[in-house]
Structure 1
Amino acid sequence: MTTLTKVRTTSPLGLRQALLARQEIALIDLREEADFARGHPLFAAQIPLRRLALEARWRLPRTAVPVVLYDNGEGLVEPAVEILESLGFSDVSALEGGLSGWRDQGYELFEDVNSYSKAFGELVEHYRHTPSLPAPDVAALIEEKADIAILDARRFEEYATMSIPGGVSTPGAELVLRARAVAPDPDTTIIVNCAGRTRSIIGTQSLINAGLPNKIYALRNGTIGWTLAGQGLDTGQQRRAPLPETGHDWTDEARARARDVSYRAGVRHITWDELAHLRGDAARTLYQYDVRLPEDFAAGHLPGFRNAQGGQLVQETDHFAPVRGARVVLADDLGPRADMTASWLAQLGWDVAVLDWPQGVALETGSDGAPPPRGPEGRYKRPYEGTDNAAAAMQAYLDWEFGLVEQLRRDGTHGFYVI
């Protein structure tokens, strides 16, 4: 166990109480991602010590936020405290006993990465009974040339690596906006897939929540289920779902449908002037995300906004917003992408609002200045990445996901709800 002689500590009970009270807190695991994936508290975010100086100010934008650090006895905490204090962070403590201290209190440890987003996806399916089709049934529909549209809800880069035959790239937040352009006939069956389960569940339920007239199913277990069924994947595909034509009724329809979903989830809409008020609140952390595709963001975005594709923001919330209890404001020039993303963040327990895109504000171009991506060192190899995964590892991953609803119940800190 790490010996902390100069560092203030936060007890596991104190941390749990802060999470239950929905106070702002950032719980940071200082280990490498592969170690983090073996077990961590539900709302922990992972920043390895070697990247802390590079990432901390970006991912923890308010230096007065309470930050709780932990390791598993590797001696990472004290140097991390020094780094954060040198960056201006004023409320830094160590989790008493580290990871072992949390476990010894009988509190839950969650495996894998982006665990609470994945657990939420399982909760959605559990309560909404999100419809799905197994891989052999979808393969049969493809073989008989049935009237179907397969929408791949992952990032385009993942889709291009490997995809279901005939699938079209439609990243998650784009689904409600673009689905009618791909499947204009209400009699066309829409099938949403991802690599595993979460994004296909959330994507399918997004279209159902938005009231699209089609029959809509998730591909059960995504490309993992497809591979385990012995069916081949395409590689190198470049098909992208188009936007509805400018001024087309489908855009207005998508806007109205998405706004209704966000309203049902309790999402607020704010103006540019009202955003200025939130930006001026030094007592709260504020994350501002433009949820469009990277190329749209780079072509012109509102000042002060970062880029996170909406589907990925829901899938990787712990990465994009490590401060649990912070405020989140989303922007999208057309509206549906922000509204649908916000509807899910609200159900994940976030204080989230959608900015009504202002007219007359000078846009910025290029990247948002995020730290450069991490290299391969210390990285956890996801069982759903690439095309060379062992069948046993893929099945073990699915078995883990199936158990997440019960683990959420045991943990008791999540505060999620499902509309």
Structure 2
Amino acid sequence: MTASPTSGPTAPPDGFSTITPAELRRRWRASEEVALLDVREEGPYSLSHPFFAVSLPLSQIELRILDLIPRLSAPIVVYDDGEGYAARAVPRIRALGYSDVAVLEGGLAGYARVGEVFRDVNVPSKAFGELVEAIRHTPSLSADEAKALIERESDLVVLDARRFEEYRTMSIPRGVSVPGGELAFRAREIAPSPDTTIIVNCAGRTRSIIGTQSLINAGLRNKIYALRNGTIGWTLAGHKVERGNTARFLERPQASYTAALADAKAWAERVGVKVLDAATFARHRDEADTRTLYCLDVRTPEEYAAGHPAGFASAPGGQLVQATDEWVGVRGARLVLFDDDGVRARMTASWLTQMGWDAAIVGPDVVAPTEVEPRAPRRPPLPDIGAAAIDVAELVARAAGWTIVDLTRSPGYKSGHIPGAHFVLASRFAADLARLPGDGGLVLTSSDGAEATFALADARTATSRELRVLDGGTRAWTSAGHALEADRQSWISTPDDVYKRPYEGTDNAAEAMQAYIDWELQLVAQLANDSVSNFHVV
């Protein structure tokens, strides 16, 4: 069992229901519904957590939980590592209407005595990718081998399976952006000849493996390879990446569509993907109060914006497989995927089914993509803070009398904040508000003001200083024509709220990138030792 950097056993808070780690693991194995929430910040979460734990920091509960856990009666388990966050999280979650909330007995340390704990984020998806490669022997090329092919072969395409934003930041030569959920739908149109060599790349390993295997599963007869270790491996081999590329393939396939649909249907049927008719989908929706239901549109964000079914969230297929826990908080829930072509939803659902999810698909014959308004995150109504609100004009007029406290996630604060604002995490008010300079009043702000408004009650218990909340947050500040500053920061709280992913951006240390690859390569062994995944690779 992997050692856990825990602070020791956590006593169950008085008056709270608890669940043992053994019972939690039994539910996972039995495919029963349960959401396990790690209410620490994402940095500590990324160092050690149970396999199916979802990161939902205490300060983000009101902002994110209604989308992560749409059913108010779904079983929820929260834990921390002895910091006391779980005891604070339970009443906040219950106040939102959730009826079945328990604390994990013993916290992280208690869990580590009976189950594996894992590093990093999106672990179930990444572990599944490694299992796919181990079982299917997904073909791959080293960075040196891929570079040689790219330089000498004319009949070759490089398909970048990451999000377009990641591709634009950096890519390998000849790369074209085709996010993973689009590959089986579009690859034949890009490479119509079976003689064309296809290289699929991502940043690390998972999306390259899943993308390559998707094309193989979809019946393409080309030579298809994953770029082993992605752009990380490419960079570690000393090869240059390109920046700012914008090559995309967004045209709807025409000549190749019939073959793509036929092969997707054959593969999905082999895996056991369910295709819902209107009556069955209506029944699923009717049962959403007793069985958690996620409705997800797996097409591109551009297609989603042009029109999507009511009640469906945008979850591009490749990212949904790569980072399922960013959309789905309840293990054991139902997932219904939508597309308007019959290929993308089937291929995405085929992977989710192998990952142990109850995944089915619907098309426009069941739900019409008629909604064009963006689907805003579901949030509870903001509390009425009355006279505690302060507008931008009043703040500017009395700027010298206030100390500004910015609760925005640390990357946002670093990129630009109200001049003089101090970075503080709401979860650490008790210790960190006392470290602020001066003794005058405090103005809380956040990106749009919502997090600051929800945090006001906690701030009042942590300080006797006068407290106000900037109406509309930092966005209102810039909308009023005021500038932000980025060259000076004041880090009152340790900025460990966002894990620095070693596969994103261009400024990652070689040691961090190599350590990430080494970690991915041992996931299959750790997965086997944990035995709760219910994965089955076809």
Q: Give the TM-score category using the shorter length.
A: over 0.9
- Residue 348 of structure 2 corresponds to residue 341 of structure 1: yes
Corresponding residue SS for 1:173: helix
Q: 2:79 aligns with which of 56, 66, 70?
A: 70
Alignment of 1:150-229 (within 5 A): 150-229=158-237
Aligned to 1:287: 294
Matches of 1:143 and 1:177, distance apart in 2: 27
Q: For residues 246-292 of structure 1, give each alpha carbon's deviation from its aligned partner in whole angstroms, at most 9, with x where no partner exists.
A: xx231121111112111111110012332111000121000000001
In 1, are the aligned partners of 2:79 and 2:103 still within 8 Å (CA)? yes
CA distance in 2, matches of 1:345, 1:132: 23
Alignment partners' CA distance in 1, 2:156 and 2:202: 16
1:408 and 1:359 map into 2 onto residues whose CA distance is: 38
Distance 1:285 1:157, change over 3 A: same
Query: Structure 1 residue 299 and structure 2 residue 306: aligned?
Result: yes
Write the distance in 2 (CA, Å) between the matches of 1:381 and 1:115: 15
- Residues in 1 aligned to 2:32 and 2:38: alpha-carbon distance in whole angstroms: 19
**Structure 1 residues 270 and 359, CA gap change in structure 2 (3 angstroms):** closer
Please tell me the residue identity of whatever aligns with 2:529. R
Shift in Å, 1:375? 5.5
Residue 253 of structure 2 corresponds to residue 134 of structure 1: no
Aligned to 1:379: 498
Question: Residue 228 of structure 2 aligns to which amino acid in structure 1?
Answer: R
Query: 142-151 or 383-392, which moves further after superposition?
Result: 142-151
Quote the residue 1:53 is aligned against.
Answer: 62
Alpha-carbon offset, residue 77 of structure 1: 1.0
Q: CA RMSD in A?
A: 1.5
* Superposed displacement of residue 358, structure 1: 2.0
Q: Which of the pair has the greater relative contact order for Cα pairs under 8 Å at 6+ separation?
A: 1
Separation (CA, whole Å) in 2 of partners of 1:362 and 1:102: 44
Per-residue deviation, 1:181? 1.6
| TM-score, reference length from structure 2 | 0.75
| Equivalent in 519, 523, 533 of residue 404 of structure 1 | 523
> Contact 1:328/1:353 (CA < 8 Å) preserved in 2?
yes
Alignment of 1:102-113 (within 5 A): 102-105=111-114, 107-113=115-121
Structure 1 unmatched ranges of 5 or more = none
Change (3 A) 1:272 1:375: farther
User: Which residue type is aligned with residue 268 of structure 1?
Assistant: K
CA spacing shift, 1:171–1:16, aligned 2, 3 Å: same
2-structure distance, mates of 1:360, 1:323? 24
| Among 7, 12, 22, the residue aligned to 2:21 | 12
SS in 2 for 1:280: helix
Task: Write out per-residue CA displacement over residues 315-343 of structure 1, whole angstroms, 9 at most, x where no aligned residue.
Answer: 11112111000000000011211011000
1:160 to 1:72, Cα distance in 2 relative to 1, 3 A: same
Amino acid at match of 2:342: G
**Aligned partner (choices 237, 240, 251) of residue 232 of structure 1:** 240
Taking structure 1 as reference, are residues 30 and 339 closer, same or farther at Cα in structure 2, changes over 3 Å only? Answer: same
Give the partner amino acid of 2:310. Answer: P
Match of 2:276 in 1: 270
Structure-1 separation of matches of 2:152 and 2:29: 52
> Match of 2:150, as an amino acid?
I
Q: Is the 8 A contact 2:218 2:264 kept in 1?
A: yes
1:41-75 CA-partner distances (Å, limit 9, x unpaired): 00110100000011111110001000000000111
Aligned length in residues: 416
Residue type at the aligned position of 1:123: L
Larger radius of gyration: 2
Distance 1:32 1:392 in 2: 24
